[in-house]
Amino acid sequence: MSCQYNRKLQKYLDEGLSSKEMLEVEAHIEECHDCQTKLDSLIEEPVVIVKESLNIDDEVLIDRIKAHRKGVRRITLYGVLGFILGLFSRYYTTDPFIVTKALMALPYKLAEFALSPFFSKNAISPWDQWHYRVTMGFGYFPYHPILGAVVEFITPAIIVTFIAIMIGHLVSDKRVFRRKNIVKFILAGIIVFSLWIGVVHIIYSRTITQIEELNGIKSVIIYERDERSTSWLIKIDQYNLGIENHAEFLSDISNAEIINSTYYGEIGSTGYELAFEFNGGGRMIGQLDESGAFIMQNRRLYQLSEDTMNLLKQIVGRDINEEKN
């Protein structure tokens, strides 16, 4: 059975009802799905008529069409401006102007707050940040700096875009952009954000697994270390992996025996520091002492064999001799 208010909808659009009836119909439409659907169809009819180049005498309907088009343009503009603001919000710390600094800081902090329930456990201590020279943003992806930078750009942009578009809906003609459209948009925003969180989680989880298993090592920079400093020795990467003992050394590292998955003790104060880069963008630093005890930045302790240690000393010693010659 059709709603009794259906017959009043056309007059409502034409503003042919009294003020009291207009308010009554408007309140009813907010609660009645059938009337919302009917009203949407009435609003869309003039658009079809315009496309067919027919004459329209009803100025009220023409105003509805203009309001709809104006609203679409406004919402699009708000969305674009919101995306740009969010995209560059990570630079708020360098902005000298207090007003723009505050505007840029807001989306960044909203993004940080939204990500916190999902990724805050990934953050490392300030001491580790300094000791291992980790570049921090949100601080949630310390072992994948590329992913961290992408998340810093995209997450604020997503959040502010949806907020800006929702504001665009709210300030547009409420007889054209109804409450149900805003609800649908909010649900769509939640879905998009959830998918984004899922993608980021999968990428970072795979990176952590790869690092923990020491698989997919793309390159390693070897430093000599003592109690106070480190000094660069050699970088093993795609350009010198053709040298047999270089490739063999990386293979031995990947097959290192894990001793403890959460080791908080100390190893020898002298030896080597190894800065790894993994396929896919993962990065991590490890410290190796003369006995072959090897602790990674994530506190996983490995033991390298005596043959691997001899191979490392051979690589380092040979390259040092070549540089001297």
Give dist(CA 222, CA 128) in Å, integer. Answer: 19
44-83 per-position pLDDT tens digit = 664 444 444 444 445 666 777 777 788 788 888 999 999 9
Instruction: Tell which phi-psi region holds residue 15, choosing left (phi > 0), alpha (psi between -120 and 50) or beta.
Output: left
Question: What sign does the dihedral 116-122-125-131 (CA atoms) show?
Answer: negative
pLDDT for 155 equals 95
Convert the pLDDT of each residue in 161-197 to its tens digit.
999 988 888 887 766 666 667 778 888 889 999 999 9
Q: Could you report the per-residue pLDDT of 211-239, keeping only the tens digit for each?
A: 999 999 999 999 998 877 889 999 998 88
CA distances (Å), origin 199, targets 75, 157, 169, 192 = 27, 16, 29, 11
Structure tokens at 318: 């040979």
Three-class SS of 107-145: HHHHHHHHHHHHHHHHCCCHHHHHHCCCCCCCCCCCCCH
Mean pLDDT of the chain: 82
Q: What is the mean pLDDT of residues 108-126?
A: 86
Q: What is the pLDDT of residues 233-272, one digit of tens each?
A: 999 988 888 887 898 999 999 999 899 988 888 888 889 9
Residue % of the chain over a pLDDT of 90? 31
Q: Is-contact 178 245, C-beta < 8 A?
A: no
What integer is the mean pLDDT of 92-108? 86
| In the chain, where the domains are located | 78-212, 217-324
Torsion angle, CA of 137/142/145/151, rounded to 10 degrees? Answer: -50
pLDDT of residue 229: 83
Cα(228)–Cα(39) distance, rounded to whole angstroms?
76
pLDDT of residue 211: 92
**Residue 180 CA: distances (Å) to CA of 36, 79, 86, 117, 192:** 9, 19, 26, 29, 18
Three-class DSSP category at 240: coil
Name the residue with higher pLDDT: 150 or 125.
150
Pick 6 or 314 by higher pLDDT. 314
pLDDT, tens digit, 9 for 90 and up, residues 274-323: 999 999 999 999 999 988 999 998 889 999 999 999 899 888 874 444 44
Q: Where are the beta strands (DSSP E) in the chain?
A: 217-225, 230-236, 257-260, 271-278, 283-289, 293-296, 301-303
Look up the pTM and report it. Answer: 0.71
Which pLDDT value is given to residue 207?
93
- Whether 8 shows a pLDDT value over 70: the answer reads yes
- Strand 257-260 with 301-303, pairing: antiparallel
At residue 284, φ and ψ (nearest 5 deg) are: -160, 150
Strand positions, DSSP E, 257-300: 257-260, 271-278, 283-289, 293-296
Cα separation, 240 vs 246, in Å, equals: 7
Secondary structure of residue 45 in the 3-state scheme = helix
Task: Tell me if 225 sits within 8 A of 132, measured CB to CB.
Answer: no
What pLDDT does 177 receive?
64
User: What is the spatial distance between Cα 315 and Cα 252, in angstroms, rounded to a whole number?
Assistant: 13
Which residue from 225, 286, 285, 296 is spatially nearest to 263, judged by alpha carbons? 296
